[in-house]
């Protein structure tokens, strides 16, 4: 990403390219995602799971120009040979994922905005998205330095929930290292170091390097590859009390999803390492009203006869 002056210049250029209506959506705190489809239609999702298709249309050339301009913000090139753009927008730091033909019929992108909601676990309980018993269990798990995995599908609210968990550590004296691909996590403790992946440094390298930074807790925005092995080893070697997100369909499914990632780097899954290291899985999902709520909390107890033994928390 370019320096602050260059970012501001590209930000102004992007505002012109996006147009007044899209810019208004980018500045609307209730909007969490803006999507351009290949047919030129624009779809918007707001807090509460409300998704609408706008009357606004973006023609193909304008869509291509936007994607190319976003790529240039990060010193990248977008063309037929390089049709994918995965980066963050300047100034706003919103996550941008775009594609050009021939991968898609027409230019398409999705912009995931950083949530402006500063929720706490108490807020989740007050909204009926977390029970009193679940909240008490999670607060105890944090205090006892349990390793907690936040699982769920796409747009299930994993990052927002991790931020709520991190707010419970605001008064902590722990040295917290936050590792992520894009700046989405919010930690306000006295001793925090944020580390980001880059083209030269992937998540596995970050996790390994973080061990030499004297961490008390290691927080990862999302684990999606063989970095899962390094994370488990780090959590299991004197750095408990970590948080991480993972794509999984249920709390029970989470350790098996973790196995899939481990098999990218090891031929035999270390089941005992998973059981010894992973203490708690929190599964989030949307309800019928589009609200992102805690569906399950499970304690990983054992691995027997090819299955993980889990105990659910009421």
pLDDT at 92: 80
Residue 299 tokens, joined: 């304690």
Q: What mean pLDDT is reported for the chain?
A: 91
pLDDT of residue 9 exceeding 90, the answer is no
The DSSP code sequence of the chain is ---HHHHHHHHHHHHHHH-HHHHHHHT-TTEEEEEE-TTSEEEEEETTTEEEEEEEE--HHHHHHHHHHHHHHTT---SSSS-EEEEE-TTT--EEEEE-TTSSSS-EEEEEPPP-----HHHHHHTTSS-HHHHHHHHHHHHTT--EEEEESTTSSHHHHHHHHHHTTTT--SEEEEEESSS-----SSEEEEEE--SS--HHHHHHHHGGG--SEEEES---STHHHHHHHHHTTT----EEEEE-SSTTTHHHHHHHHHTTT-SS--HHHHHHH--EEEEEEE-TTS-EEEEEEEEEEEEETTEEEEEE--
pLDDT at 149: 97
Which residue ranges does the chain devote to CATH 3.40.50.300? 121-312
Nearest-angstrom CA–CA distance, 281 and 299: 7
Tell me the average pLDDT across 233-246.
92
pLDDT tens-digit readout, 83-119: 999 988 887 888 899 999 999 999 999 999 876 668 8
Nearest Cα residue to 281 out of 306, 311, 307: 311
Tell me the average pLDDT across 114-141.
91
- In the CATH scheme, what is the code of domain 4-112? 3.30.450.90
Angle CA 205–208–212, to nearest 5: 125
pLDDT tens-digit readout, 167-177: 999 999 999 99
pLDDT at 93: 80
pLDDT at 116: 65
Nearest Cα residue to 261 out of 230, 221, 233, 227: 227
pLDDT at 3: 66
CATH entry 3.40.50.300 includes domain 121-312:
yes
Which residue ranges does the chain devote to CATH 3.30.450.90? 4-112
């Amino acid at each position: 990403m370019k320096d602050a002056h260059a970012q501001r210049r590209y930000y102004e250029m992007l505002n012109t390219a996006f147009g007044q209506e899209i810019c208004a959506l980018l500045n609307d705190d209730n909007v969490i995602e803006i999507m351009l489809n290949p047919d030129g239609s624009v779809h918007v999702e707001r807090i509460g799971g409300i998704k609408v298709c706008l009357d606004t249309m973006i023609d193909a050339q304008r869509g291509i120009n936007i994607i190319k301009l976003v790529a240039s913000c990060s010193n990248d090139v977008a063309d037929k040979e390089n049709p994918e753009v995965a980066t963050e927008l300047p100034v706003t730091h919103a996550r941008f994922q775009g594609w050009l033909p021939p991968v898609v019929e027409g230019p398409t992108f999705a912009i995931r905005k950083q949530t402006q909601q500063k929720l706490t676990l108490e807020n989740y309980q007050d909204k009926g998205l977390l029970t009193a018993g679940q909240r008490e269990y999670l607060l105890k798990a944090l205090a006892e330095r349990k390793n907690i995995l936040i699982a769920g599908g796409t747009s299930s609210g994993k990052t927002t929930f991790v931020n709520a968990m991190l707010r419970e550590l605001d008064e902590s004296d722990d040295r917290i290292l936050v590792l992520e691909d894009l700046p989405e996590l919010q930690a306000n403790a006295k001793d925090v170091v944020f580390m980001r992946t880059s083209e030269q440094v992937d998540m596995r390298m970050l996790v390994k390097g973080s061990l030499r930074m004297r961490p008390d807790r290691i927080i990862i925005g999302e684990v999606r590859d063989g970095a899962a092995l390094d994370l488990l080893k780090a959590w299991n070697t004197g750095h408990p009390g970590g948080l991480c997100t993972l794509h999984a369909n249920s709390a029970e499914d989470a350790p098996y999803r973790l196995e899939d990632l481990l098999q990218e780097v090891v031929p035999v899954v270390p089941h005992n390492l998973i059981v010894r290291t992973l203490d708690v899985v929190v599964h989030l999902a949307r309800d019928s009203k589009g609200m992102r709520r805690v569906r399950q909390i499970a304690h990983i107890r054992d691995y027997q006869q090819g299955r993980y033994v889990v105990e659910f928390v009421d």
